[in-house]
């Protein structure tokens, strides 16, 4: 007796919901068939997924709201150095600086409590005077991680300290050259236009760079409200201690310069002349730390072979499960909270992000961290619509289609969060593509 179509469809949906409702299902790897007399939903998790590391030439770091400074040697990603450039504006008050005596000058940095590296090692901070105008190139409105401007060879301020970003420290104060401080006070006393008018001041004093010396330690973040305070006393009827503040000017021109030396790491061959490395050449893993110029790419080389499966009708659902390699993340080496899958091709040009079918919003990966056992930490992406559109594409080739795994823009470009993903050649902690498709027998 032939069953009504609506009965078959209803039964199929019930079975599929039963199969996928739980977070974990006790389904063995390979293929599992759910029989419905005529229609089957087939699960397969044996499709190959190629994984590679892709080099990023540059990305914007200006106007991020965060300054970065420090140096840290990461065994996986290399020697990382960060420095921040910024413009300063002269004091805006109308104080009369007669009868004043110079006291001291200090750079004040307010910490953001973000860091990367070993806080038990000292930080050797140095403040340099910029000698080139901090100006955008013709037609540009942003500075990049590769941007830099010349500075004086001798610091105008230095300090060695131990960073306590999670402790009581909220600010860092660095003594600035008394020669420069006295020069500024004299200009204020003389009401010089070079210190009273912002444009003139920035021609005279072109900005500062905050950097770190040494070859290991910590990189930390600070608010873009850094300022230099000129302390002086004023003799009136009563002596007064006063401060003239040289504050951040033009947030759009505050930016971070990031450099990385990958010598001695598995990524040492990646760069502008070798922009993509297969995971087979990097220990069967791919590496992402956007701020040091790497992201992860996935391709599915044999997707259209699914068309040859017995009774194949269409892809019903598909998920990409991305498991970080155990031991490559912890409280210091944090995983990115959110990551997007961005379409790309053989040219490695980023295209559209994969969105959620339910909300039409860019997917974030729904990071789950297994704090109890440490085995099931993963990002999960719904790739159903994407695979449905590509499986019948006439020009399908794994070279033509793929995904970038990369952070969202903005604040994510000022963190050193990192991710190491195992290829399918890893015994555990590997990427996995799970496809459910409809088959009619």
Whether 4 maps to a domain, the answer reads no
* Mean pLDDT, rounded, for 142-164: 95
Q: Residues 71, 31: one domain?
A: no
In a domain, 259, yes or no: no
Q: What is the pTM of this model?
A: 0.85
**In the structure encoding, which two tokens stand for residue 238, read together?**
């009563």
Of 224, 228, 214, the C-alpha closest to 252 is: 224
Closest CA to 285 of 35, 50, 6: 50
- Say how many residues make up the chain: 441
Inform me whether the pLDDT recorded for 11 exceeds 50: no
- 183 has a pLDDT exceeding 80: yes
Give the residue from 253, 285, 302 where a domain finishes: 253
Binned at pLDDT 50, 70 and 90, residue 34 comes out as: low
Pair 148, 39 in one domain? no
Whether 61 is covered by a domain: the verdict is no
Q: Please report the pLDDT score of residue 38 as a whole number.
A: 76
Cα(293)–Cα(134) distance, rounded to whole angstroms? 23
Largest Cα–Cα separation, the chain: 109
Residues 43 and 157 in one domain: no
Among residues of the chain, what percentage have pLDDT more than 90? 72
pLDDT for res 167: 67
Domain boundary among 199, 223, 253: 253
pLDDT at position 26 = 35
How confident is the model over 319-358, as pLDDT tens digits? 999 999 999 998 888 999 999 999 999 999 999 999 998 8
DSSP character at residue 307: G
Residue 201 shares a structural domain with residue 294: no
Angle CA(357)–CA(324)–CA(260) in degrees, nearest 5? 105
**Looking at the structure, do residues 45 and 79 belong to the same domain, yes or no?**
no
* Residue where a domain terminates, one of 192, 223, 253: 253
Q: 346-356: b or e for each residue (b if 16 or more CB lie within 10 Å)?
A: eebeeeebbbe
394-400 contacts: CB < 8 A, separation 24 or more? 396/303, 396/304, 398/50, 398/299, 398/300, 398/301, 398/302, 398/303, 399/299, 399/345, 399/346, 400/345, 400/346
CA-based nearest residue to 90, from 173, 222, 209, 185: 185
Residue 9 resides in a domain: no
Domain carrying residue 433: 27-55+273-440
Q: Would you say residue 7 has pLDDT above 80?
A: no
How many domains are there within the chain?
2
pLDDT grade for 410, boundaries at 50, 70 and 90: low
Compute the average pLDDT of residues 7-11.
40
pLDDT for 431 equals 97
CA–CA gap between residue 272 and residue 208 (Å, rounded): 29
Query: If you average pLDDT over every residue of the chain, what do you get?
Result: 88
The percent helix, strand, coil of the chain (3-state, each to 5) is 15, 40, 45
Domain CATH for 421: 2.60.120
Residue 290 has pLDDT above 50, yes or no: yes
181 belongs to a structural domain: yes
CA 136, CA 146: separation in Å to the nearest integer?
A: 13
Which whole number is the average pLDDT over 402-425?
88
- Report the pLDDT value the prediction gives residue 95, as an integer from 0 to 100: 74
State phi, psi for 439 to the nearest 5 degrees.
-130, 135
Residues 200 and 306 in one domain: no
Residues 6 or more apart whose Cβ sits within 8 Å of residue 12: 36, 39, 41, 438
Same domain, 73 and 120: yes
Q: Hey, which residues does 255 pair with through a beta bridge?
A: 85
Confidence of residue 157 (pLDDT cuts 50, 70, 90): very high
């Amino acid at each position: 007796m032939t069953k009504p179509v609506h009965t078959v469809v209803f039964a199929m949906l019930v079975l599929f919901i039963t199969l996928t409702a739980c977070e974990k299902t006790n389904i063995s790897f390979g293929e599992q068939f759910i029989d419905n007399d005529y229609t089957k939903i087939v699960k397969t998790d044996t499709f190959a997924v190629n994984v590679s590391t892709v080099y990023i030439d540059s990305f914007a770091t200006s106007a991020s709201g965060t300054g970065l400074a420090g140096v840290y040697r990461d065994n996986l990603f290399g020697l990382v150095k960060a420095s921040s450039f910024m413009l300063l504006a002269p004091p805006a008050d109308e104080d009369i600086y007669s009868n004043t005596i110079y006291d001291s000058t200090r750079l004040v940095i307010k910490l953001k409590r973000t860091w990367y590296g070993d806080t038990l090692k000292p930080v050797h901070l140095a403040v340099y005077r910029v000698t080139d105008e901090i100006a955008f190139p013709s037609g540009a409105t942003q500075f990049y991680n590769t941007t830099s401007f010349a500075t004086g060879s001798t610091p105008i301020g230095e300090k060695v300290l131990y960073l306590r970003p999670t402790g009581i420290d909220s600010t860092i104060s660095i003594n600035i050259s008394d020669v420069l401080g006295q020069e500024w006070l004299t200009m204020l006393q003389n009401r010089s236009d070079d210190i009273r008018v912002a444009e003139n001041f920035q021609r005279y004093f072109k900005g500062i760079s905050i950097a770190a010396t040494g070859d290991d330690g910590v990189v930390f973040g600070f608010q873009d409200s850094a300022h230099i305070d000129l302390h002086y006393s004023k003799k009136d009827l009563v002596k007064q201690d006063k401060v003239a503040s040289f504050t951040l000017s033009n947030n759009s021109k505050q930016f971070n310069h990031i450099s990385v030396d990958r010598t001695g790491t598995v990524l040492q061959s990646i760069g502008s002349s070798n922009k993509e490395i297969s995971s087979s050449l990097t220990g069967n893993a791919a590496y992402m730390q956007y701020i040091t110029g790497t992201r992860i790419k996935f391709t599915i080389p044999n997707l259209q072979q699914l068309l040859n499966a017995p009774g194949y009708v269409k892809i019903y659902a598909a998920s990409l499960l991305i498991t970080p390699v155990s031991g490559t993340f912890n409280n210091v080496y944090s995983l990115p909270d959110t990551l997007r899958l961005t379409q790309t091709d053989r040219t490695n040009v980023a295209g559209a992000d994969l969105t959620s079918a339910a909300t039409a919003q860019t997917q974030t990966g729904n990071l789950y961290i297994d704090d109890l056992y440490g085995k099931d930490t993963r990002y999960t992406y719904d790739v159903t619509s994407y695979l449905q559109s590509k499986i019948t594409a006439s020009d399908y080739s794994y070279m033509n289609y793929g995904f970038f795994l990369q952070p969202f823009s903005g604040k994510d470009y000022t963190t050193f969060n990192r991710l190491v993903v195992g290829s399918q050649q890893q015994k555990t902690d590997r990427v996995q593509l799970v496809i459910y498709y409809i088959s009619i027998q």
